[in-house]
Chain A
Amino acid sequence: MLGKVSSKYLVWGAVALCVSLLSGCATSRYDGKHAPDPSKAIIVGSVGESFPMMQPHGLVVEIKQQGAPGTVLRLTTLGNEDDQPSPSVLGHYFMYEVPPGEYEYTQWHYVYYAGKSMPRPVPAVFSVKAGETLYIGDLRVDALRFCLSNVNNADDTVQALKRKYPMLKDRNIVNLTPKSGFVPWPSSDATDFGKGLCTI
């Protein structure tokens, strides 16, 4: 009897441990309601997917800190607020408080498609320093080309971010897109219609 009870608790204990370990893997968003940690950096930007005449497919973009396997930013469109006014675009403005270091866009995919981002010829890496506030770009994807871009739209997005997060209002936000931006990055669902990938 005791053995049965113990094994039952062991199973639940293992489940609880797994859940806590998994939740510790993804860095949670920063809402700006407490004072920022001066030993960290703040990164801001937007993520969105367009789906003309379709349903959203659930964009997931992962950014990992190099040399720190536990630090992962997982940007997702589904399950988050929709800050985009267009009915055919789903996405939001985000803000994270992160340790200083080098960060890499490691992969992206749609929840409701089998494809994964193709291996990159050149890694998409940017670095952040403690105390900095950095705009890292607007991540955009659509389910026609299946290519993710990270573009510079600082003029509009930084203003929108300051409206959403009042604590950013008086901060100097550095535009990091010359380093953090990247050209269209296809997934294995991308099709070449005779003009090359990411081109229609």
Chain B
Amino acid sequence: MKRSTLLWVGLFAALASLTGCISGPDLKGQPFFTSPAEPRADEATVYFYRTAASIGGGVAPTIQVDGCTVGSLPSGSFFKAGISAGKHSVASTSPPIISGMVNQRFDITVENGKVYYIADQLSTSDYKDGQTLGEVDGRRFSGTMFYSRYALVPAEEALRSIKWCQELPATAR
């Protein structure tokens, strides 16, 4: 095989594998959210979710609580985390191929026996609803401003959105 052909094959293989790294686990066939699990009395139940997004939809941030990875959020996914009562530090990290840096950080205070919904959200208009955790990140893309944030969403509102999300595979935690 010619050297240039080998080079191209290698380049395509590398790009294909990198795409897999960035976009996160495949959600095909995973169950959709239906209703919250019965909360445990000895911990808080926290649902992290992210509805399908056109911008950045191919990137899956990793979520850490107090420095420990609890899951990742590919576009259109959710996962559940059991967290002990108290104040915790949450960080969202972009995949290593993008930067490997913490791009959002916020604190949450939770109580045992309660259910919380934390959404990774994106909008073309700034958020004014008081649900923002940490800070809103505004960036211009192709001439349009996009605002991304994490939000602590009341249950009634969260259930309208999280029902369109599929569960992160257990193997991807």
Contacts and interface: CB of A to CB of B under 8 A. Distances in A.
Interface stretch (B38-46, B83-91, B94-102, B121-129): B121-129
Given A118-B164, A188-B57, A195 B76 contact: no
A193 B164 contact: no
B54 A189 contact: yes
Contacts of B166: 119
Contact of B54 (A115, A121, A196, A198): A115
A197 B131 contact: no
Nearest to B166: A119
A192 B54 contact: no
B53 interface: yes
B90 to A, nearest CB: 19
B136 interface: no
Interface string A72-109: 00000000000000000000000000000000000000
A187 B149 CA distance: 19
Interface string B99-138: 0000000000000000000010111110101010000000
Interface in A146-200: 186-199
B119 A192 contact: yes
B124 A191 contact: yes
B65 interface: no
Residue of B27, B129, B159, B161 contacting most chain A CB atoms (<10 Å): B161
Contacts of A9: none
B160 A198 contact: yes
B59 interface: no
Contacts of B32: 119, 121
Give the interface SS of chain B, mostly helix, strand, loop or mixed. loop
The size bracket of the interface on B is: 20 to 34
A113 to B, nearest CB: 7
Interface stretch (B1-9, B10-18, B150-158): B150-158
Contacts of B129: 193-194
Contacts of A193: 123, 125, 127, 129
B103 to A, nearest CB: 20
Contacts of B27: 119
Interface of B: 27, 32, 34, 51-55, 57, 75-76, 119, 121-125, 127, 129, 131, 151, 153, 156-161, 163-164, 166
Interface of A: 113-116, 118-119, 121, 186-199
Given A115-B54, A199-B160, 18 more contacts: A114-B54, A118-B76, A119-B27, A119-B32, A121-B32, A186-B51, A188-B57, A190-B51, A192-B123, A192-B153, A193-B123, A193-B125, A194-B127, A195-B160, A196-B157, A196-B158, A197-B164, A199-B157
14 contacts: A116-B52, A119-B32, A119-B166, A121-B32, A121-B163, A187-B54, A188-B54, A190-B51, A191-B121, A192-B157, A193-B123, A194-B129, A195-B160, A197-B161
